[in-house]
Chains A and B, each alone.
Chain A
Amino acid sequence: MMLMQSDIITVLLIAIVIGLLAYLIKSSLDYSKERKEIMEKESRPVKIIAVASCQQNDYTMEREFREGDFIGKIDGACPKCGSQMIIIKIYSLYMETPQKSFKLQLR
């Protein structure tokens, strides 16, 4: 009985020491992990889209932004009516990164 009680206390003490050591290692590893996470989050790929519209409003075209583009730039002629195409919007989109989904389909 006494042997068993002594073993339980020893196991408990070992568990506490191991737990403290694990916490120590984990907290020191967290610093480097944090830096990696911040950098990954900020470097999500972004796509810049330029939207050009015909002056007669009968045609709209979307394409990737090219250096030198700006809102108000004349961007060629309309393929429908031949009037000027003007860039009216430029905006950014986060590009989707392929992720495995484990969601259950409930339908």
Chain B
Amino acid sequence: MTNMQVGGDWNTILTALLWLVFMLYMLSDLPQKTQFMRYEKGVAVRLGVLEGLVKESISKVKSYLVKLGVSSVDALVNSTLENYFAIEPVSIEPTDIIKRLDHIITVNEDKFKGDLRKAMPNIGRHMLNNIAVSLAVTSALYTVYKILRHYYLLGKKYENWILLMQLYIALPQIVRELLPYVRAVETFAKGIPIGDSAGPMVAFKLVGLSPRIDIEEDTVYSVVELEGRKVYVIKAKGPGATVGKPGKAVAKIAEMLSYNISRIITVDAALKLEGEPTGLVAEGSGAAIGDVGPEKIEIERVAVRCGAPLDAVIVKMSNEEAIKPMVKEIVEGVEKAYQMVLEIIRNRTKPGDNVVVVGIGNTVGVY
């Protein structure tokens, strides 16, 4: 009898409790509030991870600058993080948009490098390029963090659970994609070749240690003879971290050769699709270059003016592999791309032809 009473009491309490929970769940906005709290907490935790990454990246750059003996490191890094944004030119009137875009990019880059040179007058060009890219990577990380924080605070302020839900869903992927950027700061500072250096590495394999001739800012070319063909190999000036201005270099070479070019071959790193193997090499047509426009259009214009076929050789890799130290699969891809370029020159040009090969990408750690 006692047992039944105790059991019955528990039963009644638990049943009442479950009914209460059920009623609250179905007839109040408690589930939405709970979900909102969960989203808010989840986003806050992930933003905390991102904040930690930004701080880590800033401290890495600062310690590297201190090691190089740079004075007023804090002021330099802080000004880089907040300044040097570029505003897109007016696109409603497309006339000359490429020239205007190029002008804005060049002015911004010159201002950035000029300020760095002022702050570090005794540092060599290659080291300066490495620092510039490390600072640019940190600045990019900080900007992404600021934007995400902005939407998080907006969502919290207006209790916009849809905004928070979007952040909650997207943040794990964003955090994972940003993680390699933290390591990239160290990679650039030390001058280790990255996945994106695949194009310059193919160019190096073609020319070896032959003399580099300056043709544009941070861009060089070398001339090699290959079975009777004259091959003009263009790449960014290494081994510092820079992408140079390959499009303008192609335009200058074309002008120098009176537009007598039989073929233009561009070699670059390209993003692979999920499931594709790293280091896969593919060949196509067009200019393999991932800039916003000014450099790519120069190569296309030269190809059209010369009536020269434009080949694209790409080495596939993921977004994170492109900025991480080069992995062995990409090194093997570089060898395959090099063989492919040789094959194109041998089979699709004739002895006596002028051929232009452009190794596109960041030349960090590649001479």
Interface of A toward B, CB cutoff 8 Å: 2-3, 6-7, 9-10, 13-14, 16-17, 27, 31-32, 34-35, 38-39, 42, 46, 48, 65, 67-73, 86, 89-93
Contacts and interface: CB of A to CB of B under 8 A. Distances in A.
B324 interface: yes
Contact of B49 (A3, A9, A35, A90): A35
Interface residues of B, number: 43
Contact of B3 (A3, A14, A31, A35): A3
Most A CB contacts (10 A, CB to CB) among B172, B179, B239, B365 go to: B365
Interface stretch (B7-15, B86-94, B256-264, B305-313): B7-15
Contacts, number: 100
A70 B191 contact: yes
Interface string B230-250: 000000001100000000000
B204 interface: yes
Contact of B175 (A13, A17, A38, A70): A38
B365 A70 contact: yes
Interface in B77-104: none
B10 A91 contact: no
Contacts of B4: 2-3, 6
Contacts of B41: 31
Contacts of B238: 70-72
Given A70-B367, A72-B209, A72-B239, A65 B7 contact: no
A42 B320 CA distance: 11
Nearest to B240: A70
Given A35-B45, A71-B204, A93 B328 contact: yes
A55 to B, nearest CB: 9
Given A35-B49, A91-B327, A17 B367 contact: no
Contacts of B208: 72, 86
B45 A9 contact: no
Contacts of A69: 191, 365
B109 to A, nearest CB: 23
B179 A38 contact: yes
Given A38-B175, A86-B209, A91-B331, A71 B18 contact: no
Nearest to B325: A92
Nearest to A16: B18
10 contacts: A13-B10, A13-B14, A39-B49, A71-B204, A72-B367, A90-B326, A91-B328, A91-B330, A92-B192, A93-B327
A55 B160 CA distance: 65
Nearest to A2: B4
Given A13-B14, A31-B42, A70-B367, 17 more contacts: A3-B7, A6-B4, A10-B10, A10-B14, A14-B10, A42-B179, A70-B191, A70-B193, A70-B366, A71-B204, A71-B366, A71-B367, A72-B238, A86-B208, A89-B331, A91-B325, A92-B326
